[in-house]
Structure 1
């Protein structure tokens, strides 16, 4: 009989518990696909007394994840602790040092240390699987790393954070504000008590760093990503987007340009009938544009115990089969140092919402500042009362500008000048209009 593959799981949160449960419940089917039995022989977690609904009889318990990684009773180490440093990093690095294959869902660790981990894994001749690190149960890593090997990828665009997509969907459909919707998301377990990592765009940025490396064969460069979150969005912006034929999503976008690789995470308007725009709720979606296959869209559950466990188990099965692929699709020594395209060179259309003070000459001054930067306006929409120049109101009026294609540097220069003129109240809302 073929010897079983012995798995050690470090981290027994929602995902870790699901991995242990599914491996046991579907043991026969998984063994048939893997060509050998797969059994959990060791686990590690901080709270041994917590009831996780798991049968861990006969399974070794390690308080220290690095100790689990050194255990002779473990063939494969599954790291589900999370975080770029500390116990998670020590667990992965120890496993590789002891020549044990690694499976991880840790996007922060790989975004920060993926290149050094890839080098170490190659020297130790062990694979590192991380399908679960991006888009949960959606097989986007395998698609980029293996399925599109005969393609040159030009752009990857995606909804990479289910929390943000849920909030935007609820705000749009139920006409409620950001704060109320975030509170609901926290009650439902879609958002953490401190939601900054999600709503600030940082979770999506870590995932985008991995997609960029896979798409373009470059070293991970999370610090080169332009990041904005979703906290500035209002129901008014979503209503205007609908009126103009768009939907608003938090997108991660990586594009190869003549000036380098452009990586950005921010709110964007997409045509309502585009594939990504139609994705609602906690679902993730990724569109890959490539020269041979064209546009490929993958969508599905981006989080949750079972969905993420599905991706983790797929990587374990690959290891059981003896599949060994370079971490980022090419040997670490061949990963190019990325040339960053400055955000100021980004070109596209823009939605701009201004709170314009009701005073003579304000509108003309705004138009002049745009013209000075050679920005052409496709439309100007005013919402609210008509201005009364005989008795101006102290209340500002919402004015929305839609531009033709321009570059980010020109737009920012125009907005800086408009703010300096003193004709607007507050900070302008800027949402980029993404090409289909």
Structure 2
């Protein structure tokens, strides 16, 4: 059997300790499958005295993770510190500069600097592996980079954030509003005290930036993503979605379209019959559309110690086997600039919910605003009259139209005297 692969782990939070647990529990299995053992020989974290439930007596401790990253007795640096820049990026850059392989779960760093870091890895002859950065235990990156290597990918999309999916699922099942469900989600540990990354779509956008580069051989372009979160989704919208045959999901979508590639994260109305509509709770799912293979859906736990550590260890095992694939499927120098298609060019159907005074002529004014932008109504739902002066909901779904025209129509509708609240818009996706 070959010499052990020597591993240094920077960051001993939930995923870091999970990684040590997997490597210890399955050390014989890993050695058998890789032809050599994979051994953690060094670690670095903020607090040496903290009890983590793993035995660290046989490893070297580094107070400075950057110093660990340059240590000549380490072959692979596992970066699990997190954060777009700062110490995490310093650790990765130092390791690559010293020709060491890097495994990271850091989606924010890759979304902003992935192209640059992939180039540095290739210059040094090292591997930059990041399966754990996208959807935890789901092999999303391997599926696209390796499983679909012989396909031209037309689209990649999915439920990329488990916290948001859990909130939307719970809102549908209980009829409660966003704020109340979010508070419970935080108590359960599915969302942070500051939930912005999850509920505002930022976490999903980080992952989408990585998937887009993989699927379309482009440079990572986080800034080109249109991002909306789920804060404005109401129980009323979820009920109407059910009535109309849809479910609301926060999707990250990258798709070829005339003039470039759309990258967008926002709530979507998805037909109940679509497989992704039935991905519930904290689960994630990724769908890739290949020109020869068709649609491939992978689903599973997108976060947590076990699933994410499983993905980290899978990357470590590839390195132990001597596998050296480009981070984004092709050499970084061959990644081309992403021709981003602006959101104003998007074509699709729309759900509109308007809170209006119930008086004669209101529907005529609303449909006139849609008519002026050549927007065709597919369906309309209006319930009975409310108490005097109280608004009543009018729900409209449209046939496919252009986003720019829809935005102009919404602006005109919002200015109508009978419309008492800002119109609620959710895009309809038909996977």
TM tier, smaller? over 0.9
3-state SS of 1:179 partner: helix
State the Cα distance separating 1:71 from its structure 2 match: 1.3
Q: Does structure 1 residue 393 correspond to structure 2 residue 392?
A: no
The residue that corresponds to 1:130 in the other structure is 130
Instruction: Give CA-to-partner distance per residue, 1:353-382, whole Å, 9 cap, x none.
Output: 011123432221111000000001011111
The residue that corresponds to 2:94 in the other structure is 94
Instruction: Give CA-to-partner distance per residue, 1:265-285, whole Å, 9 cap, x none.
Output: 000011101110010000000
- Measured on the aligned residues, the alpha-carbon RMSD in Å equals 1.0
The residue that corresponds to 2:35 in the other structure is 35
The residue that corresponds to 2:401 in the other structure is 406
3-state SS of 1:421 partner: coil
Q: For the Cα contact (< 8 Å) 1:288–1:295, is it kept in 2?
A: yes
What is the alpha-carbon distance in structure 1 between the residues aligned to residue 63 and residue 256 of structure 2? 44
Q: Which runs of 5+ in 2 are unaligned?
A: none
What is the alpha-carbon distance in structure 1 between the residues aligned to residue 237 and residue 414 of structure 2? 20
Q: For the Cα contact (< 8 Å) 1:283–1:302, is it kept in 2?
A: yes
Q: For the Cα contact (< 8 Å) 2:358–2:385, is it kept in 1?
A: no
What is the alpha-carbon distance in structure 2 between the residues aligned to residue 422 and residue 295 of structure 1? 46
Q: Which runs of 5+ in 1 are unaligned?
A: none
Instruction: Give CA-to-partner distance per residue, 1:128-172, whole Å, 9 cap, x none.
Output: 110000010000101111111110000011000000000000000
Instruction: Give CA-to-partner distance per residue, 1:41-72, whole Å, 9 cap, x none.
Output: 11111111111101001211112211110112
What is the alpha-carbon distance in structure 1 between the residues aligned to residue 354 and residue 388 of structure 2? 16
1:243-392 paired onto structure 2 within 5 Å: 243-383=243-383, 385-386=384-385
TM-score normalised by structure 1 residue count? 0.97
Q: For the Cα contact (< 8 Å) 1:83–1:106, is it kept in 2?
A: yes
What is the alpha-carbon distance in structure 2 between the residues aligned to residue 275 and residue 162 of structure 1? 16
Q: For the Cα contact (< 8 Å) 1:377–1:402, is it kept in 2?
A: yes
Instruction: Give CA-to-partner distance per residue, 1:197-225, whole Å, 9 cap, x none.
Output: 10000000000000000000000110100
Q: For the Cα contact (< 8 Å) 1:380–1:401, is it kept in 2?
A: yes
What is the alpha-carbon distance in structure 2 between the residues aligned to residue 73 and residue 272 of structure 1? 54
Instruction: Give CA-to-partner distance per residue, 1:94-134, whole Å, 9 cap, x none.
Output: 00001000000001000100111011111101011100000
What is the alpha-carbon distance in structure 2 between the residues aligned to residue 115 and residue 329 of structure 1? 12
The residue that corresponds to 1:420 in the other structure is 415
Q: For the Cα contact (< 8 Å) 1:42–1:73, is it kept in 2?
A: no
TM-score normalised by structure 2 residue count? 0.98
What is the alpha-carbon distance in structure 2 between the residues aligned to residue 103 and residue 272 of structure 1? 38
What is the alpha-carbon distance in structure 1 between the residues aligned to residue 377 and residue 125 of structure 2? 57
The residue that corresponds to 2:104 in the other structure is 104
Q: For the Cα contact (< 8 Å) 1:96–1:126, is it kept in 2?
A: yes
What is the alpha-carbon distance in structure 2 between the residues aligned to residue 215 and residue 423 of structure 1? 46
What is the alpha-carbon distance in structure 2 between the residues aligned to residue 261 and residue 248 of structure 1? 23
1:47-86 paired onto structure 2 within 5 Å: 47-86=47-86
The residue that corresponds to 1:195 in the other structure is 195
The residue that corresponds to 2:207 in the other structure is 207
What is the alpha-carbon distance in structure 2 between the residues aligned to residue 224 and residue 422 of structure 1? 36
Q: For the Cα contact (< 8 Å) 1:350–1:402, is it kept in 2?
A: yes
Aligned match for 1:429, one of 418, 424, 429: 424
What is the alpha-carbon distance in structure 1 between the residues aligned to residue 419 and residue 48 of structure 2? 57
3-state SS of 1:314 partner: helix
What is the alpha-carbon distance in structure 1 between the residues aligned to residue 428 and residue 366 of structure 2? 20
Q: For the Cα contact (< 8 Å) 1:159–1:252, is it kept in 2?
A: yes
Q: For the Cα contact (< 8 Å) 2:21–2:54, is it kept in 1?
A: yes
Q: For the Cα contact (< 8 Å) 2:373–2:409, is it kept in 1?
A: yes
Instruction: Give CA-to-partner distance per residue, 1:1-27, whole Å, 9 cap, x none.
Output: 421101001111100000011101111
Q: Does structure 1 residue 117 correspond to structure 2 residue 117?
A: yes
